Every structure is written in structure tokens, then in C-alpha cells.
Amino acid sequence: MLIHPMPDPIALSIGPLSVHWYGLMYLAAFVQFIALGRLRIRQAHIAAVGWKKEDLDDMLFYGVLGVVIGGRLGEVLFYQPAYYLSNPLEIFAVWKGGMSFHGGFIGVMIAMAVWAYKAKRNFWDVMDFIAPMVPLGYAAGRVGNFINAELPGRLADASLPWAMIWPNVDTMPRHPSPIYQALVDGVLLFIVLWIFGRTPRPRMAVSGMFALGYGGARFFTEYFRTPDYEVAFAGITISAGQMLSVPMIVLGLLLLFLAYRKTGGNRLA
């Protein structure tokens, strides 16, 4: 039986300064955004509409604010409002983990709307451009969750080769759910979006594929993760993560419908 290694969440210490693995994963996410962005700019249909390397640096600044502020507020409001109401100073302890992707998604949308207004670009062109660069950053965050021994999986059959005991939870075999989410919601979705976005698509199509793909993938992988809480919906019990993913699935379908409604619509990223 595999046992979660429970590594020290602090990667290294320099005097009084401690660098957490979780923070390093976010740094890796931001670095890959720049690296993939530079590759995306080289694609002919992207270069044709005037995207530049300088745009990436500018968007990253706004995106970091959106991810951190939105992700943390999402965790506070969507998942643990009672805890943070009782411990308000913990809201600022982002190095301990606890970031909501759905909150970060909303935060990034707001940040990109601000940047699009400032840069005089269409909001959906911006979202279509950055969508393929997001999933690998998400995957890095899930690796950070695993290192921090967060988001333990549901109980698994002991015969499952990768079933794992989480010593901070109990001695029962569990699914390594953060790894599932890193691979499915992250790596697999990246592959799909990168291939989909390599050729010209109607405006909103790449954004729609991202919302639909992430919402569907997250809904699936939530079946292997211990739910933060569950809600009853139309006689069916779903987790908080699944409940928050349903609007993304609906949004994705709507954007794809609007994108392909007219033949020969605007072609962008």
C-alpha cells in the first residue's frame, strides 16, 4: 500500500525567509504561462492579429492579481465561510494553500476585462488567447495541493495499485485525487485546448471549449475527491466542486453555440 510521503511544505529556508512548495508551484504556473504564450504568439493566426510578447508580461501582472485575489476569496466564500469568519487573519495566509479554481476563474475574467479595456482589445479575443495556457498552471497548483497533503481522495479499493494512505486523515486507502485532477483537469485539458486553438476559430470558441472542458473534467474527477460539502440537487447529491462546475459547463455550451451560430463568423484565436 502506498503511503502519502507527507513532505515538508517548506521547500527551503533562507534565514527567516521560508519558501513553500505551494508558492513554487504557483511560480511554475506563471512561468509556463509566459513560455506557452510565446509559443502561441508564433502561431500564424495569432501573430496575424497583432499579439506581442509585451502583451504577455502585462496580462501576467493582471492575471496574477486575479488568480490570487479571486482564488482566495473563492475559497473563503464558496468552501469555508464559517472557518474564515472565525479566523479572518487566515484569509491572508495563502502560503498554507486553500485556493478555489472557480474563484480564480472569476478573478481572472475580471482582471482580463480590465486589461482588455486598457489595451483596447475585445474581451473574448483576450480570453480565447489565454485559454490554452491556463490548464498546465492549474495542474501545477494541484501538485502543490498534493505536496501539502490537501484534498484527500475518497476511499478506494485496497487492490488499486495507486491507492494511498493519507496519514493526516486516517489509515484507509484513498484515491490520490489531486494527481487525478492535475492529469485530467490539467494536462489532458491542455492537450485538447492546445490542439483546438492551433487553427483559427470563431470568437468565443476557444473560451467555450475551455469552460466546457474544465467543467466536465472537474465534475468527473470530483467523484474521486473527498467533498468539501455536498448539496442535494433534483434528487441527486453532488459535491460543492460539481455544483460550481455546472455553470461552467452551461457557459461553455452557450459560448460554443454563439461562436458557431453564424457560418464564417469572426476568426480569431
Tell me the CB-side half-sphere exposure of residue 126, using CA atoms within 13 A.
Answer: 23
The answer on whether 203 is annotated among ligand-binding residues is: no
3-state secondary structure of 90: helix
DSSP string of 198-239, one letter each residue: TS-EETTHHHHHHHHHHHHHHHHHGGGB--S-EEEETTEEEE
Do the beta carbons of residue 1 and residue 174 sit within 8 Å? Answer: no
Please report the sign of the dihedral spanned by the C-alpha atoms of residue 70, residue 195, residue 220, residue 146: negative
| Alpha carbons 123 and 119: distance in angstroms, whole number | 10
How many secondary structure helices (H) and strands (E) does the chain include? 11, 9
Describe the chain by its helix, strand, coil percentages, rounded to 5: 65, 10, 25
Do the beta carbons of residue 196 and residue 186 sit within 8 Å? Answer: no
| Alpha carbons 150 and 169: distance in angstroms, whole number | 10
| Alpha carbons 42 and 139: distance in angstroms, whole number | 24
| Alpha carbons 220 and 115: distance in angstroms, whole number | 33
CA 100 → CA 57, 168, 235, 241, distances in Å?
24, 21, 26, 9
What is the distance, to the nearest Å, from the Cα of residue 36 to the centroid of all Cα atoms in its chain? Answer: 16
Binding residues: 142
